[in-house]
Structure 1
Amino acid sequence: MSSGILLDTALMKTALSALLFCASLSATATAWAEGDCGPAAIAPLAGATGARVQGYEAIFESCVKDGETRLATRRFRVDGEKLLLTVDPQTLKTTLERETCWRCEETHDAEQAETRFLQAVRPPQDPERPPALVNAGLIHGKGAGAFITGDLCPSHKPLDRGFIEEVAAQGPGTPLTLSVSGAWIAQHGEDFAWLQEKARSGALDISWADHSYSHPYIPGLRDAQNYLLRPGVDLDREIFETEKILIAHGETPSVFFRFPGLVSDGALLERLKERHLVALGADSWLALGPPPKPGSIVLVHPNGNEPGGLQIFSRLLKSGRMPKPFRALNEAP
C-alpha cells in the first residue's frame, strides 16, 4: 500500500474520531448558538452537581437589552459561558441570560424600591412588631384561587408521584411551586428527572423555590436553636448550593426561599433580603393548620414524610373545597 493511501486512511480515522468526540460532547454539554441572545438553555446532565457551575457570586445590577430591563442577582459560568440569573422587576419571572448580551451596571435597593420585585423582597414592616420566629414572609396571596406549594426536604422516601399527578390532572400547564433542598436533588435523581419531564411536556408549570441545601434539623431542639438558626450554619452556602445544583440540572431558581420548618429570625430575614430573595411562608399547612381559603398559600410535603397532608389535599380537591384556580406563585406578592 502506498504512503499516500496510508496517509489518507490516517486522516479519515482522525476526522471520524473528531466527529464522534464532538457528537458525544454535544449530547452532554450546553450548546451555545453564536449570536443567540435569547434566554440561555442549559442542557441537563444526569448526576450533575453544583460543581458544574463556576464562579458563583451574588450581585445586584440593572441590565438593559433592546429596551428590556432585568435585575441581575447572580453571576456565574456554566460550560465556559458567562451567565446571569435575572429577574423581571415587574413580573418576578427569573431567567438565565448570557452576560455578553446585556449592558449592566450596579444598582441598589433604594434605586429599585418602586419595583414590584423589591416590594416583594422588602415588604413594609410594622416597626412595633418584630418579625415572627415562625412563618415570616409571604403567607397569603392576592386574589382568588390557591397557590400550591410542596416542600422537598431531604428524605430517604421516594417522591409521592400521586400528588404530582393529581395536580397535573387539573389541566395542562397547571402551576406548582416546589420548595426543594439541594440534598433532596442529590439523593433523588430519578424523581427529579421525572419532575423535569412533567414540566418539559407541558403537564405542569413548575417553579423551583430554594429550601436550603442541607435543611438542618435536630429533633428535640427548640426552634430558636434549630434549623438555620443552629450555630455555625452558613446561610449563603445553604442558598447558593441549592441554586447551583438546580442550574447544573438545567433549571432556573425562582425568587422564593422557604426557611426549613418555616423558622427564621430578624437577622436571617435581613440576610435573605440582602441576597434578593422573597421569604415564603404559608397560611394553610394542611397537615397542621387551617383549611385553605381564597388566596391561600397551601403547603404540603410530597417527599414521603407527610402523607397526612397529601390525603387532606386530595379530600379537599375531590370535595370542591380547595380554592380554584391554582395560580402561579409569582402572582401572589
Structure 2
Amino acid sequence: MKICVFGAGAIGGYMGVKLAQAGADLSLVARGPHLAAMQENGLKLIEEDGEATVDVSASDDPSALGVQDYVIVTLKAHSVPGVVDKMQPLIGPETTIVSGVNGVPWWYFHKLGGQYDGTRLETVDPGNKQWDGFGPDRVLGCVVYPAAEVIEPGVVKHIEGNRFSLGEPDGSKSERAMALSKALSAAGLKAPVRPRLRDEIWVKLWGNLSFNPISALTHATLDVLCTEPGTRAVARGMMLEAQEIAEMLGVKFPIDVERRIDGGAAVGAHRTSMLQDLDQGRPMEIDALVGSVQELGRIVGVPTPTIDTVLALVQLRGKVAGLY
C-alpha cells in the first residue's frame, strides 16, 4: 500500500512519522525550509512520552513519487484548489483521495441523497477545481482531531489527540476505508470508519465556525471567549444558525450548543488556528470555516444574520492584514 501525505506540515508530519515507524510505504510532499530539513535530517516528532526521528521520502515534486494507493491531503482548505493539477502524477485509476481538511468539505453533497445531491460549493471549491480534477468518487472523508505544530523546520510537536475518523460519502464500510483504517491503526492512530461522518464534521465545524473568527477579531483565547458573556452569546448565535442548516441536511448532533461551548472553554488558554495564522502572517482559513456555512444557509434557505456579521468583520480583518 503506497501512501502519500500531501502537505506534511504539523498534522501531516505527525501522521507521517507514525506511518513511517509502522513500516508503511510512505512519501511526503512539503516545501521550503521544512522540506529541506526533512531531506537532510529526517522528520522529528516530539511527543509527551519521548521523541523520534525517521528518514522519510519527501519532495516538492509529486511526479518524482509515482502513482499512490492513497493520497492524504492535509493542507489548509484554501490551498487545495491551487495544487490539483500538481497532484495528478500521484493519481492512478485506483487512487483514493483522503480529504483531511478542516471545514465543510468540497465533496459534501456527493452521494448525500435528496434534493441537494451533487450540489457544488463555490466557497471551498471555486470553479469546481477539485470536483473535476479529483472526481468525487475518489474521495474518502476524514475528520482530523489531533493538535500539533511545526516548532522548527523538520520538527513537529504533538500536543494532543490521535484520532482520524474516516467515512465514505455514502456511509458504506468500503474495502478502501477499512484498509486505510487498518494501516493507521497499525501506526498507533485511532481511525474508526463512521457511517455518518458528516455528523462529526459538523460537531467539529461548530467550534471552528464560531471560535476561530471570534478569536481572530478579539485575540482572546478559548477559555476567555467561551466564558465572557458577550462573546459566548455571539458564538451561541452562530452555532444555532449552523445547527438549523445542518439539521435540514439530515445531520444529528450528539450534544447541545451549551455543552459544545463548555467543551471549548475546557480546552483552556488555547489560541485558535485562525488567530495563530493572523499572528504569523499566514493566509486565514475564512471561507472553509465560515463562508461555507453561509453558502449552505443560502442553499437550504436558512437566514444566518450572526454568521453574516462575524464573517464580514473577519473577512475585512483578513484583508487589512493582507491574509485573505
TM-score by length of 2: 0.25
More helix by share: 2
Q: Would you tell me which structure has more strand in proportion to its own residues?
A: 1
